Amino acid sequence: MVTGLGAITPLGNDVASTWEAAKAGVSGAGPITHFDASLFKTQFACEVKGFVASEHFDRKKERQLDLYAQYGIVAARQAIADAGIDTEGAVDKNRVGVIVAAGIGGLHTFEEEAGYYAMNSEKGPKYNPFFIPKMIADIASGHISMEYGFHGPNYGTVSACASSNNAIIDAFNLIRLGKADAIVTGGAEAAIFPAGVGGFNSMHALSTRNDSPQTASRPFSKSRDGFVIGEGSAILVLEELEHALARGAKIYCEVAGGGMSADAYHITATHPDGLGARLAMTTALEDAGMKPEDIDYINVHGTSTPKGDISEAKAIVEVFGDHAYKLNISSTKSMTGHLLGATGALEALFSIKAVTDDIVPPTINHDPEDLDEEIDYNLNFTFDRAQNRTVRAALSNAFGFGGHNATVIVKKFEK
């Protein structure tokens, strides 16, 4: 069961503001402010706005944390408070775990330290003692467990942009196996810095639509030219049903199943026929004991890249058959950008809200004349406006460099 939610995103610094902006079709893109990007091919991103670290951490703690971990910890605080497991005696802390993913981790910390060493090499190596513990991709989980005294399973998952879906699936399975009563899970990422933007630019992965940042992420439109990099965190509290009921917890929905696969094809490109995507979705349905027609909404990976959008759309038709045309499909990356290792968790959160509120968020930035002949527009991509409909169950896809695929299914909770 999902009993708590938290979010720090390009659309808002909590769940309510993020969800309201997503329903309204608001873009979180704008000029990069984290550094001077004037010499970069891409000069815009979906940054978190109005986040002031000193409002959340004392000066000593702030210096120990990379920005990605700051986002993850603050989103986790929101989710833990929302679930009501932050009060003394609410849970057995030996039975509460933390699994928070990052695709990259402390990239900014690494960049700063490498730059320092390069500039001071004549004096010999001199590194900040917090360099390694700020940088590593599992450290957000560690800090969250220490803050709350949660002694259950604790680690981070790394599978590029599938990372936080893998974290959610791991949490789900550990609870099913009886290894924990509750797990704080999700993802965090903060890579909008020179190494992140420059690295993705060098492989032609990012949109370079600098004249119109807010319309740059345009999944399933022919003129799409790459993804828009985003940052932030989304955190869920997953909890065993009887445990949640016994303490009178609010239950958002049920995590029904998860599927994982590998494309085994290319280091960055998705399989052109969506082979791995098909397998992840099919496995998730089997794990949930559900049929394709039980799903009402798919939050697609939909990164606005030339090849990826095509292969995912093909995979959906292959898996869902005629029912594919009765689904609502949307890419919320059109608004949030691509949060890399945190993206799966944020899109799982949107899927949860779609199930609880019976509203499908839109895919924005679509021009009806900007059509790709390789995409089947008989599919309902929920272009431009949110749509009200009963959402009994939602499926959320996340795919990553290395051919990693992970799919999560959530459904309405019925006692």
Residues labelled as active-site residues: 161, 301, 338
Provide the H-helix boundaries in 223-296: 241-246, 275-288
Alpha carbons 188 and 176: distance in angstroms, whole number: 24
Whether residue 254 contacts residue 413, with contact meaning beta carbons closer than 8 Å, is answered with yes
* Three-class DSSP category at 221: coil
Provide the H-helix boundaries in 289-369: 308-320, 333-336, 343-357
Q: Which residue has the tokens 């459904």?
A: 411
290: left (phi over 0), alpha (psi -120 to 50) or beta: beta
Q: In whole angstroms, how far apart are CA 383 and each of 75, 135, 328, 329?
A: 29, 38, 10, 9
* Three-class DSSP category at 218: coil
Alpha carbons 74 and 295: distance in angstroms, whole number: 32
- Sorted by sequence, the CB contacts under 8 Å of residue 256 that are 6+ apart come out as 287, 288, 289, 290, 393, 409, 410, 411
Alpha carbons 351 and 411: distance in angstroms, whole number: 9
Whether residue 160 contacts residue 340, with contact meaning beta carbons closer than 8 Å, is answered with yes
Largest CA distance in the chain: 67
Neighbours of 184 (CB within 10 A): 33
CA nearest to 203, candidates 171, 169, 226, 170: 226
